[in-house]
Chains A and B, each alone.
Chain A
Amino acid sequence: MSDANGSRTAALPGGVAGGSPNGSGPAAGTGPSAGGPGSGTPGGNGAARGYAPGRTLPLGVEIVRQFKRRRTLVMFGLLLALPWVLVIAFKLGAGSNQPATSLRISDLATEGALNFAAFALSVSASFLLVVAVALFCGDTVASEASWSSLRYLLAAPVPRDRLLRQKLVVAMGYSAAAVICLPLMALVAGTLAFGWNDVRVPGTGEIIPALDVLPRFAVVIGYALVSQFVVAALAFLLSVSTDSPLGAVGGAVGLVIVSNILQAVEALGSLREFLPTFWNTAWLDALAPQPQYDGMLKGVAVSVTYSAILIAFAFRRFRRKDVVS
């Protein structure tokens, strides 16, 4: 450490790589402790001691930053409560209705835990999970921008690509947790309410042993997750592009709505196969007596295609963006 304390000139003794003065001066009332105020790493990139781009914004920190938010807790509370609400609804309605006579997925929901979980997934996948995923991914950067905390993270500095990567990983993680926690809680609620029974297949009414269908159920959840990639990626791109968290979430949900509307236009023919939501219900094929994976494969292909490009655009955009919030 060179003693350049108090120096007001640019001239500094040679050999001090960072040119940073030792701040052990007694003049500071709130005097710093013995450690220097940050010595430059010799011959390095000019960073402060201990700084490494690869160590910035660790995942754990980002998870904690996001977890304590009311929005996160409310969404998870809702997803975890929904199966119980459904259980109550079925129990209340059970008195007025005789046992299921038709074979729709909703009529078979009370057959057992797995049937119930499939039902819970089918009613929530088209909208509730979309909103959850759009919320976690659409809000992550935009809310930082709206709080102005984004600029301090960037000036910390967290490199832009790394910030985006860490945020994407954490947002995807929360989205995945949301998509997974609902059917799992539905399994728990269904087991307690209706018992751990074999699966009755909607449409044909066939029975499949519960243990046979459990791995397929994992495939279903995995597919539900992958099919939300598009929503996640679009929400993320919008999140990067706007300072308004609501705009990002709403934009992604809006895309799903528009895609669903276009899907109803049969005149589009096979073009509809390339709509991002077209294959969203393909997971039902995995619960058929003879599972078919063709539709799910196509769904995964479409989903990966859109999300890869959207995320690439998000990174490109954020890299070039002037952060003015």
Chain B
Amino acid sequence: MKRAGRRTTWVAVVAVLVVGVAAWLVWPSAPEIRVQDQMITVVDGPKDDQRVTLDASFFPPAGGGRAPAVLLAHGFGGSKQSVRAEAVRLAQAGYAVLTWSARGFGRSTGQIALNSPDYEVKDVRQLIDWVAGRPEVRLDAAGDPRVGMAGGSYGGAISLMSAAHDPRIDAIVPQITWHDLADALFPNATGQGPESGVFKRMWAGLFFSRGGPTPDAAALAGLGAQNGQDRQDGEDGERQARQPARPLTAEEIRCGRFLPEICDMYQQVAESGRATASAVETLRRSSPISVPGKIKVPTLLLQGQRDSLFPLSHADANARAVAATGAPVEVAWFDGGHDGGNGEVDWLYGKTLGWFDRYLKEDSGAARAGGAFTVTRDGGRDPGTRRPVQLHATAAAYAGLSGSAQTSVPLSGPDQQVANPPGGSPASISAVPGFGGIGGGSGLNLSVDMAGQSAAFDSAPLTAPLQITGSSTVKVRVSVNTAADGATGEDTSTENAPGGDASGAASEVTLFAKLYDVAGGTQAPILPEGLVAPVRITVPEGGSGEAMVTLPAIDHRFDVGHRLRVAFTTTDLGYSTPAAPAVYTVGLASPAVTVPTYATLRTPSTGPAWWIWALPLASIAVAVALGLAGRRRPAGEHDPALESVPLRIDGLTKAYRNGELAVDGLSFTVEHGQVLGLLGPNGAGKTTTLRMLMGLIHPDGGEIRIFGHRVVPGAPVLSRLGSFVEGPGFLPHLNGRDNLELYWKATGRPAEDAHFDEALEIAGLGGALDRAVRTYSQGMRQRLAIAQAMLGLPDLLVLDEPTNGLDPPQIREMREVLIRYAARGRTVIVSSHLLAEVEQTCSHVVVMRRGRLVTAGTVSELLAGRTSADGSGTRLEDVFLDLIGDKA
């Protein structure tokens, strides 16, 4: 029965394993996508006379048939390899995907024209022509494929620009990209336009260096950007391959792969730090701002919250531009951007796929995930991995950077004097372009304001939490401190943005506005996402200038007790600042900051997982079931007829694990006052029988009754059984006395019933009783164990080889103890090999062999029977050997 159960268990385990492995093997894996590399020749340029070869890869859709196409564009400094992984995923999702290295990047020829309508946009139109000729691509009309475009940064801008110039494009998903490149590089938070903007020199330098001539750009390109956007993934080899063996010409060293006009423009503005009208014109030709009303396709704008290059305001401007045409627009602010953050690659992919499913496959089943506006928020840390968790708050409509409501938070602070250090150094730090990824996200607060360069205006501690979503505004008043101004009035540096230009009627003041979260105490103030708003304010001679400053768009929760702090610094590491030293007085024109809130943004409540309750309840139910199923309540507990029979064994059977019978149909009865010898050779089943007698092992058949009570494990009648079987069992760290006392206490019976003194006398250990048992000899343990068996003077005493390890006097004494014990009406069972001993001690014997009863009776009968047969006096030994030899 037991063996059968064991086998069943194994069969079940193996079956589960086999099913699991089979499921693993059979489980549908993602279909394999076979990439087709393709060199596509296009003709572009203002006069359509430049031939450029584009290095492209085509990923046919999984599942065959005609499928919608997606053009995946890469970021600045990348190549078609940068977007390969996403392309494969889209192809597996059933899209025909085309990736290509834009002109001037990767193995493509041509020069970088910054997504110019004359160059890159024309290239994309011809790529769409090529896609339209593919048999795998679904067509809306002849030559008009069903096609979407997606990409990040540089690739996002080409998506927008292409959608404006090619009506065949049906949906776009631009990520972390610009609306106005001029404004991105020359921002002015007063809203006066890039001509008066502050040059974002560090980002601009990094951005342009990625199109530069040396492989060093590869090292820079890896910094800062996430998601394979604006990054050079595994491009080193490719770059080396196309590096000409000849030395670079001076022009190539100077401009890398840029179009010379772009190169000249950049060098001019980077040197002066001011945007010229022609530079603004050039940059805007590459920007969606130049094509108002022309982007009429469903647009999903994914913009990073940690992005000091193309901040959220660019996505906002793009959203407004597209929405003005009536096309559907959705906006998501995710945890990422050019300054690092999580990146949320999988989530962005899911959003992109959902958008294309909706507008390219027109899959009505592709439910709108969330609303038109999604913001990624900090969801604390995952308790298991200790990693940050993102929550996605959604709103049904996108209301722009001014939020769905505005609150005015009063600020206080006197007018403060701040210094512009000569040469603009040391500079305050907000974010370090290109190194944002190092911090790994939200935890690191890089911002440092230099002493004496910052004016701060604090709110009172908040009495309720304030979630700001969008751009706050504050009105600032600045005047130039003329006393400090007089000495350095002349602008002698190459920096063309004089801080204290006293020569004209008006001077310009460059400031960087920041909104801090001040927790107080020892904590450094937090600058959310490391974003600043650069402003350039014109201050009339002797007077003061005022400006409404739009602070950076953020999504940030200010906790109760925290303060809002609006700070104005004169320097920032990432920007060009005036070299001339100056002192300004900065104050608030109106003592409040207007903050946008977005009440309709809701984080879907996850609630506690269902299994928090279900699992423990289910497991407890299983546990209870296991416990109840294991209970056995055998009938026939008590047989009153046998009330006075100390021991009756009836048909007892026990099999070893291998099926061999250790005890085979054993039956015998022991009466009162008997000293029974249980005899048998090794392996006869004596010990097994005694173990069953003690309730230690379960019989396979038959039963044992002690005083009529059936023996089962833990049967109360066992309290009338004293036993010593297969050696002593003591706690080695306790002394002999404690062992006996604790054993008796464990029986739960009254101490006065134990008869310790008599037991200890039998043990005869003397002073050794107070030594730890581990120091005892074998004989001492043996005697202590027999004493333990006699504790409480049990009615039935079972001793297995009691004389092992005893010396002859002790053996003799033990014999007398046993005889006396039985003489008091109790019953003793002794199992032994020492036949002479048994002969002298026992009144009865039971002889076993191979689990079976050979004979049972009194010693005298046994001896007499043999005597009569042999005709001579005999010993038990002879009888025993005869008995077991007979049937050998």
Residues of A in contact with B (beta carbons under 8 Å apart): 4-12, 16-25, 27-33, 35, 37-38, 40, 44-58, 61-62, 64-65, 68-70, 147-162, 203-207, 263, 266, 272-273, 278-279, 281-282, 284-285, 288, 292, 294-302, 304-306, 308-309, 311-313, 315-316, 319-320, 322-324
Smallest Cβ-Cβ distance to B760: which chain A residue: A30
Q: Give bound CA distance, A49 to B679, whole Å.
A: 32
Inter-chain contacts of A160 with B (CB < 8 A): 713-714
Inter-chain contacts of A61 with B (CB < 8 A): 742, 745-746
B710–chain A nearest beta-carbon distance, Å: 9
List 30 A–B pairs whose Cβ atoms lie within 8 Å, in order of A's numbering.
A4-B825, A6-B823, A7-B825, A8-B674, A21-B673, A28-B823, A33-B755, A38-B795, A46-B706, A50-B748, A53-B716, A147-B732, A148-B726, A149-B729, A154-B696, A204-B523, A272-B384, A279-B384, A281-B383, A282-B383, A284-B386, A285-B381, A285-B383, A298-B383, A305-B618, A312-B626, A316-B626, A319-B713, A322-B698, A323-B696
> Contact at A10–B825, with CB atoms within 8 Å?
no
Instruction: Please pick, from B523, B707, B821, the residue contacting A19 in the complex, using a CB distance under 8 A.
Output: B707
Number of interface residues of B (CB under 8 A): 98
Residue B868, interface by CB 8 Å = no
Q: Give bound CA distance, A11 to B637, whole Å.
A: 22
Q: A10-B672, A38-B720, A308-B619 are in contact. Are A316 and B730 (CB under 8 A)?
A: no
Instruction: Please pick, from A12, A27, A46, the residue contacting B720 in the complex, using a CB distance under 8 A.
Output: A46
Inter-chain contacts of A298 with B (CB < 8 A): 383, 609, 612
> Contact at B622–A309, with CB atoms within 8 Å?
yes
> Contact at A30–B820, with CB atoms within 8 Å?
yes
Q: A51-B719, A315-B630 are in contact. Are A6 and B609 (CB under 8 A)?
A: no
Residue B50, interface by CB 8 Å = no
Instruction: Please pick, from B523, B695, B698, B727, the residue contacting A155 in the complex, using a CB distance under 8 A.
Output: B695
Residue B195, interface by CB 8 Å = no
Q: Give bound CA distance, A150 to B714, whole Å.
A: 12
> Contact at B823–A148, with CB atoms within 8 Å?
no
Q: Give bound CA distance, A203 to B387, whole Å.
A: 12
Most A CB atoms within 10 A — which of B645, B732, B761? Answer: B732
Q: A50-B753, A322-B698 are in contact. Are A5 and B523 (CB under 8 A)?
A: no
Residue B12, interface by CB 8 Å = no
> Contact at B742–A51, with CB atoms within 8 Å?
no
9 closest A-B pairs by CB: A295-B383, A21-B825, A148-B729, A55-B748, A19-B644, A312-B623, A159-B714, A37-B793, A47-B716
Inter-chain contacts of A155 with B (CB < 8 A): 694-696, 718, 721, 723
Inter-chain contacts of B671 with A (CB < 8 A): 8-10
Q: Give bound CA distance, A23 to B715, whole Å.
A: 24
Q: Give bound CA distance, A308 to B620, whole Å.
A: 6
Smallest Cβ-Cβ distance to A57: which chain B residue: B746
> Contact at A6–B673, with CB atoms within 8 Å?
yes
Q: A27-B824, A151-B694, A156-B718 are in contact. Are A306 and B619 (CB under 8 A)?
A: yes
Inter-chain contacts of B793 with A (CB < 8 A): 23, 32, 37-38
Inter-chain contacts of A53 with B (CB < 8 A): 714, 716, 748
A81–chain B nearest beta-carbon distance, Å: 21
Inter-chain contacts of A4 with B (CB < 8 A): 672, 825
> Contact at A37–B792, with CB atoms within 8 Å?
yes
Smallest Cβ-Cβ distance to B753: which chain A residue: A50
Q: A154-B694, A297-B612 are in contact. Are A35 and B383 (CB under 8 A)?
A: no
Residue B788, interface by CB 8 Å = yes
Inter-chain contacts of A204 with B (CB < 8 A): 523
> Contact at B623–A309, with CB atoms within 8 Å?
yes
Q: Give bound CA distance, A15 to B75, whole Å.
A: 103
> Contact at B824–A292, with CB atoms within 8 Å?
no
Instruction: Please pick, from B643, B717, B725, B794, the residue contacting A151 in the complex, using a CB distance under 8 A.
Output: B725
> Contact at B707–A308, with CB atoms within 8 Å?
no
Q: Give bound CA distance, A33 to B743, whole Å.
A: 21
Residue B697, interface by CB 8 Å = yes
Most B CB atoms within 10 A — which of A51, A53, A54, A204? Answer: A51
Instruction: Please pick, from B723, B727, B749, the residue contacting A51 in the complex, using a CB distance under 8 A.
Output: B749
Instruction: Please pick, from A28, A55, A309, the residue contacting B824 in the complex, using a CB distance under 8 A.
Output: A28
A255–chain B nearest beta-carbon distance, Å: 17
> Contact at A25–B823, with CB atoms within 8 Å?
yes
> Contact at A12–B672, with CB atoms within 8 Å?
yes
A261–chain B nearest beta-carbon distance, Å: 14
Residue B638, interface by CB 8 Å = yes
B771–chain A nearest beta-carbon distance, Å: 14
Q: Give bound CA distance, A295 to B385, whole Å.
A: 11
Q: Give bound CA distance, A297 to B716, whole Å.
A: 43
Residues of B in contact with A (beta carbons under 8 Å apart): 380-386, 443, 519, 521-523, 608-609, 611-613, 615-616, 618-620, 622-624, 626-627, 629-631, 637-638, 643-645, 669, 671-674, 691, 694-698, 706-709, 713-721, 723, 725-734, 742-743, 745-750, 752-753, 755, 758, 761-762, 788, 792-795, 816-817, 820-821, 823-826, 843
Q: Give bound CA distance, A319 to B706, whole Å.
A: 21
Most A CB atoms within 10 A — which of B750, B795, B825? Answer: B825
> Contact at A324–B825, with CB atoms within 8 Å?
no
> Contact at A305–B794, with CB atoms within 8 Å?
no
> Contact at B714–A157, with CB atoms within 8 Å?
yes
Q: A46-B717, A298-B383 are in contact. Are A7 and B729 (CB under 8 A)?
A: no
B821–chain A nearest beta-carbon distance, Å: 7
Inter-chain contacts of A51 with B (CB < 8 A): 716, 719, 747-749
B610–chain A nearest beta-carbon distance, Å: 10
Inter-chain contacts of A301 with B (CB < 8 A): 611-613, 615-616
Q: Give bound CA distance, A296 to B843, whole Å.
A: 69
> Contact at A65–B624, with CB atoms within 8 Å?
no
Inter-chain contacts of A299 with B (CB < 8 A): 383
Instruction: Please pick, from B443, B748, B820, the residue contacting A28 in the complex, using a CB distance under 8 A.
Output: B820
Smallest Cβ-Cβ distance to A298: which chain B residue: B612
A24–chain B nearest beta-carbon distance, Å: 8
Inter-chain contacts of A52 with B (CB < 8 A): 748
A37–chain B nearest beta-carbon distance, Å: 4
Inter-chain contacts of A309 with B (CB < 8 A): 619, 622-623, 626
> Contact at A203–B761, with CB atoms within 8 Å?
no
Q: Give bound CA distance, A71 to B733, whole Å.
A: 10
Q: A25-B824, A147-B729, A147-B731 are in contact. Are A40 and B720 (CB under 8 A)?
A: yes
Inter-chain contacts of B386 with A (CB < 8 A): 281, 284
Smallest Cβ-Cβ distance to B724: which chain A residue: A152
Q: Give bound CA distance, A309 to B623, whole Å.
A: 5
Inter-chain contacts of A203 with B (CB < 8 A): 443
Instruction: Please pick, from B623, B718, B824, the residue contacting A37 in the complex, using a CB distance under 8 A.
Output: B824
Q: Give bound CA distance, A324 to B612, whole Å.
A: 41
> Contact at B743–A156, with CB atoms within 8 Å?
yes
Q: Give bound CA distance, A279 to B384, whole Å.
A: 5
Smallest Cβ-Cβ distance to A309: which chain B residue: B619
Inter-chain contacts of B746 with A (CB < 8 A): 56-58, 61-62, 153, 156, 158
Inter-chain contacts of B715 with A (CB < 8 A): 45-46, 157
> Contact at A64–B707, with CB atoms within 8 Å?
no
Given A281-B384, A297-B612, A301-B616, 10 more pairs with CB closer than 8 A: A4-B672, A20-B795, A46-B715, A48-B749, A53-B716, A148-B727, A151-B694, A155-B718, A205-B522, A323-B696
> Contact at A316–B627, with CB atoms within 8 Å?
yes
Q: Give bound CA distance, A234 to B753, whole Å.
A: 39
A59–chain B nearest beta-carbon distance, Å: 11
Instruction: Please pick, from A45, A300, A313, the residue contacting B716 in the complex, using a CB distance under 8 A.
Output: A45
A295–chain B nearest beta-carbon distance, Å: 2
Q: Give bound CA distance, A301 to B618, whole Å.
A: 11
Q: Give bound CA distance, A205 to B680, whole Å.
A: 78
Q: A11-B644, A324-B697 are in contact. Are A278 and B384 (CB under 8 A)?
A: yes
Q: Give bound CA distance, A4 to B795, whole Å.
A: 13
> Contact at A320–B383, with CB atoms within 8 Å?
no
Q: Give bound CA distance, A16 to B721, whole Å.
A: 18
Q: Give bound CA distance, A294 to B380, whole Å.
A: 11
> Contact at B733–A69, with CB atoms within 8 Å?
yes
Inter-chain contacts of A315 with B (CB < 8 A): 626-627, 630
